[in-house]
Amino acid sequence: MPSVDAIWFASPLALLIGAFAIVMIAVRINQANGDLSRAGRSTRRLEDALIPVRLETRRARSSVDHLRRK
């Protein structure tokens, strides 16, 4: 009868272990999603900070191009 007891408890134990593994994977995915969204926000902040630099570069290039034509 010990084998029957082992089979009886093995199925719920396997389900619990599987459920725990799924929860851990879901937590990791949630953390990765948060990290990805934070990286996206910091990239947008960096791009927004570089807009004035790009505009100044265009103005300088435009004025240099103007000087060469004259």
Domain boundaries, the chain: 46-70
Q: What is the pLDDT of residue 61?
A: 65
Q: What is the pLDDT of residue 68?
A: 56
pTM of the predicted model as reported, rounded to 2 decimal places: 0.55
Q: What is the pLDDT of residue 53?
A: 73
Cα 17 to the center of its chain, rounded Å: 27
Q: What is the DSSP letter of 22?
A: H
> Over the range 36-70, which residues count as b (16 or more CB within 10 Å of their CB) and which as e?
eeeeeeeeeeeeeeeeeeeeeeeeeeeeeeeeeee
Q: What is the pLDDT of residue 51?
A: 76
Q: What is the pLDDT of residue 9?
A: 72
Which residue positions in the chain have pLDDT lower than 50? none
Q: What is the pLDDT of residue 32?
A: 97
